[in-house]
């Protein structure tokens, strides 16, 4: 994007403290390295623990949540998602609702993304679970990509939305659904067509980057994520939706750190944005001349969707271009962020 346009340097905007409705914090030493980047600027976050092996019971999930609480201050409230498998029992939904900190069950189509091997192989297998969720008001968080290997990677979201998500919505019209990290025009249009119980998160990287970023200069593993970055017309549709003021679209960074070995040798998908996420979102909204729409997207609509009170604290963002580190410590290794070595135009004051 052009860095010389937009509002003058030094401009400040103060907004309600935001929440991140989709983030991966990993565990152990890796979590310790990155959790502060989420827990400091965000008041609450919806954590996606797609660990190996997966966390599939509320009991395991609470122990994982305690790990996060042990590494963060009282001001941060981590909400949880439970990983759905073919074997998940409807009673796990009842336990999740009773717990209160679990705000969604996560549907990973088996094989669609990082650590999704234990995910759902056929959505009809979880119909009894979806039935209970609909009944009790528990949200379904969806990784909306088909894992059918015959489908082109750039078509995976569209095919999933047309074939699978449409079926889920038809079968369970009152189920609360979040199409996570929506990346395509078709995904946006699908969400817009539904009632208020269907919404989507949008990442900062999908708002700012198109698929050229994967190949700029050389192959750029830090820009490889799932769903994959799309062409410019899709990016523009996402930007339009995010800045439209529609409560159906809200902030979810999908910040997903991987160490350099996992990125370079294992081809892991996931963009690490947490340390600069709010600065990147502010850039995107500035680019769309819609900074006045940032607060709703970042701080209001997600809470409204999940039936939670809006935060009362505020934060101030300042347009103060600064250099993004080349890499950040991550466990005993390093993680390369989006914008590595480049400039981010905004920061939290
Ligand atoms: C995520 C990860 O690494 O955990 N990867 C990604 O590319 N977004 C998983 C996910 O959200 O799909
Ligand atoms: Zn994710």
Taking residue 308's Cβ as centre, other Cβ atoms within 10 Å add up to: 14
- Across 199-208, average pLDDT: 98
Report residues near ion ligand 2: CB below 5 Å: 48, 254
Residue-level pLDDT at 114: 80
Residue-level pLDDT at 112: 85
- Our answer to whether residue 254 is catalytic in this structure is yes
Instruction: Categorize the per-residue pLDDT at 2 as very low, low, confident or very high, splitting at 50, 70 and 90.
Output: very low
DSSP H or E segment with residue 177:
strand 177-179
Which of 22, 23, 24, when mutated, tests ligand 1's pocket best, judged by the most ligand atoms within 8 Å of its CB? 24
Which of 115, 225, 263, when mutated, tests ligand 1's pocket best, judged by the most ligand atoms within 8 Å of its CB? 225
pLDDT of residue 48 exceeding 90, the answer is yes
| C-alpha to C-alpha distance for 98 and 283, rounded to whole angstroms | 39
* Catalytic residue of the set 148, 155, 170, 254: 254
pTM of the model: 0.97
Residues facing residue 316 across a β-bridge? 14
Residue-level pLDDT at 315: 98
- Across 252-260, average pLDDT: 97
pLDDT of residue 4 exceeding 60, the answer is no
pLDDT of residue 1 exceeding 70, the answer is no
Question: Which of ligand 1's atoms lies nearest the C-alpha of 180?
Answer: 11
Question: Which of ligand 1's atoms lies nearest the C-alpha of 268?
Answer: 3
- Across 290-309, average pLDDT: 98
Q: Residues lining ligand 1, CB < 6 A?
A: 24, 50, 113-114, 143, 225-226, 254, 256, 269-270
Contact 205, 223 (CB under 8 A): yes
- Across 34-58, average pLDDT: 95
Nearest alpha carbon to residue 63 among 88, 45, 80, 50: 80
Question: Which of ligand 1's atoms lies nearest the C-alpha of 257?
Answer: 3
């Amino acid at each position: 994007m052009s860095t010389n346009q937009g509002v003058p340097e030094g401009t400040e905007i103060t907004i309600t403290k935001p929440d991140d409705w989709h983030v991966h914090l990993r565990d152990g030493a890796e979590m310790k390295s990155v959790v502060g980047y989420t827990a400091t600027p965000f008041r609450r976050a919806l954590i996606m623990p797609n660990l190996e092996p997966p966390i599939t019971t509320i009991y395991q999930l609470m122990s994982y949540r305690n790990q996060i609480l042990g590494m963060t201050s009282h001001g941060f409230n981590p909400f949880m998602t439970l990983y759905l498998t073919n074997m998940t029992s409807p009673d796990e939904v009842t336990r999740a609702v009773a717990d209160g900190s679990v705000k969604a069950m996560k549907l990973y189509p088996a094989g669609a993304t990082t650590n999704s091997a234990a995910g759902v192989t056929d959505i009809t297998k979880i119909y009894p679970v979806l039935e209970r969720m609909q009944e009790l008001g528990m949200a379904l968080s969806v990784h909306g990509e088909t894992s059918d290997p015959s489908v082109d990677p750039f078509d995976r979201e569209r095919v999933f939305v047309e074939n699978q998500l449409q079926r889920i919505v038809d079968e369970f019209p009152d189920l609360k659904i979040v199409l996570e990290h929506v990346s395509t025009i078709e995904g946006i249009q699908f969400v817009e067509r539904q009632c208020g119980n269907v919404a989507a998160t949008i990442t900062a990287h999908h708002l700012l980057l198109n698929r050229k970023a994967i190949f700029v200069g050389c192959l750029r593993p830090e820009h490889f994520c799932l769903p994959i970055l799309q062409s410019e017309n899709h990016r523009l549709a996402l930007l339009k939706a995010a800045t439209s003021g529609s409560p159906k679209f809200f902030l979810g960074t999908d910040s997903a750190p991987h160490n350099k070995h996992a990125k370079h040798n294992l081809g892991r998908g996931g963009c690490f944005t947490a340390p600069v996420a709010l600065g990147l979102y502010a850039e995107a909204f500035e680019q769309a001349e819609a900074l006045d729409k940032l607060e709703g997207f970042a701080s209001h609509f997600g809470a409204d969707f999940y039936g939670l009170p809006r935060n009362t604290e505020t934060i101030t963002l300042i347009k103060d271009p600064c250099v993004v580190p080349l890499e950040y410590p991550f466990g005993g290794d390093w993680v390369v962020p989006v914008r590595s070595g480049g400039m981010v135009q905004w920061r939290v004051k």
